[in-house]
Structure 1
Amino acid sequence: MQNSSTMKLVIYTDGGSRGNPGPAAIGVVIQNEDRETIKKYGEAIGEKTNNEAEYQAVIFALKKVKQLLGKEKVKEMPLEIRMDSELVASQLNHQYKIMEPNIQQLFLQIWNLMIGFGPIKFVAVPRAQNKEADRLVNEALDKKQAGLF
C-alpha cells in the first residue's frame, strides 16, 4: 500500500428506491487504488426517489471517508467516486443542470463537503462495475422490508 499522502481512494456509491419514491437505501464501497476494500456500508435511508438516494450515497461516502481518515489526511488525497447513474455523475461534474429543488439542496451539501477534500472526480461506470454497492443497497432494502412484516 502507498504512503497515505499519495494514496488515492476509489469509492463506489449506489442509491436505490423501491417505488420511486419509496423505501430507499444506499451502498458505499471504499477501496484504495489497489482495489483493496477498506470499508463498505449499506443502509436504509427512509422514503426517497432514486436520484435522492444516489446523492445521499455520495454525501454518506464523503462523511465516512473524513471520519475514517481524518480531516488532515483527506485535504490532499484524490478521490474518484464511481456510480452507475450517468445523470448524477454528469450533474456533479456540472455537465447537466439540476432543476429539482430537493436535488439542488443535496448537490449543495456535496459541494460544501468537498471543500475539506483534495481533488474529487465523479465517474459514471457501467452497472456491472458497481455490483457490490448495488448489492449493499438491495441487502439494506431487504432487511428493512423484512423488519416491517
Structure 2
Amino acid sequence: MKLKIYTDGGARGNPGPAAIGVVVCNEKDEVVFEHQDTIGEATNNIAEYCALIAGLEIAYRLKAKSLQCYTDSQLLMNQMNGSFKIKTDHIRTLSERARRAAKQLDSVTYHHLPREHVMIKQADRLVNQALNQGGH
C-alpha cells in the first residue's frame, strides 16, 4: 500500500512546550488517519523530527510499503535527504531514529511543501490543538 504523510512540529517559545501533528493520506490525498500529541519541552527542530518519526511509525502500523513524507521544514527535508549535515548530537539521534523507522518500509521519499499547503496547514492545526489542550 502507498501512503503519504504530512507532518508538522512546533514549540511555543522555541524551546518551549512542543507538539506534533501527522496527517496520513492515501494516494488520492484522502485522509485515512490523524495524530496529534504533546512532546514536552523541545525546540521546533526537535518537534519536526518527532512528528516525522511518529508518521513513519504510524505508516508502518498501517502496513504501508511505499511512503511519501511531506514537511514544511526545509532543514528536516534536506537533512533526511543527505543534503545538509547534522551538527548537533540530539538532532543526529533523532535522525537515526527516523532512518531506522524508514527502513521498515520498502520505499520512503522526503519532500518540502510550503506551510500554506492544505495538508501542512491541517498538520499545523493538529499541533496547535495538542498545545491548546495541554494548556499551552
Opposite residue 123 of structure 2, the aligned amino acid is A
Which runs of structure 2 are paired with 1:24-35 in the superposition (5 Å)? Answer: 24-35=18-29
The counterpart of 1:63, out of the listed 50, 57, 81, is 57
Secondary structure of 1:111's aligned partner: helix
TM-score where L is the length of structure 2: 0.95
TM-score where L is the length of structure 1: 0.87
Opposite residue 77 of structure 2, the aligned amino acid is A
Q: How far does residue 41 in structure 1 lie from its aligned partner after superposition?
A: 0.9
Corresponding residue number in structure 2 for 1:39: 33
CA–CA distance in structure 2, aligned partners of residues 15 and 28 of structure 1: 9
Structure with the bigger percentage of helix = 1
Secondary structure of 1:121's aligned partner: strand
Question: More deviation in 109-118 or 27-36?
Answer: 109-118
1:95 is the counterpart of 2:83: yes
1:132 is the counterpart of 2:126: no
Unaligned runs of 5+ in 2: none
Unaligned runs of 5+ in 1: none
Q: How far does residue 68 in structure 1 lie from its aligned partner after superposition?
A: 2.5
Q: Which has the larger radius of gyration?
A: 1
Opposite residue 78 of structure 2, the aligned amino acid is S
The counterpart of 1:141, out of the listed 123, 131, 134, is 131
1:13 is the counterpart of 2:1: no
Deviation string, structure 1 residues 30-75 (Cα, Å, up to 9, x no partner): 0001011100011111011000000000111111122222xxxx3x
Contact 2:3 2:59 in 1 (8 A): no
CA–CA distance in structure 2, aligned partners of residues 67 and 10 of structure 1: 14
Secondary structure of 1:34's aligned partner: coil
Runs of 4 or more off by more than 2 Å in structure 1?
Answer: none
Deviation string, structure 1 residues 63-113 (Cα, Å, up to 9, x no partner): 1122222xxxx3xx2211000001110000000000011000000001111
Report % sequence identity.
Answer: 43
CA–CA distance in structure 2, aligned partners of residues 42 and 115 of structure 1: 23
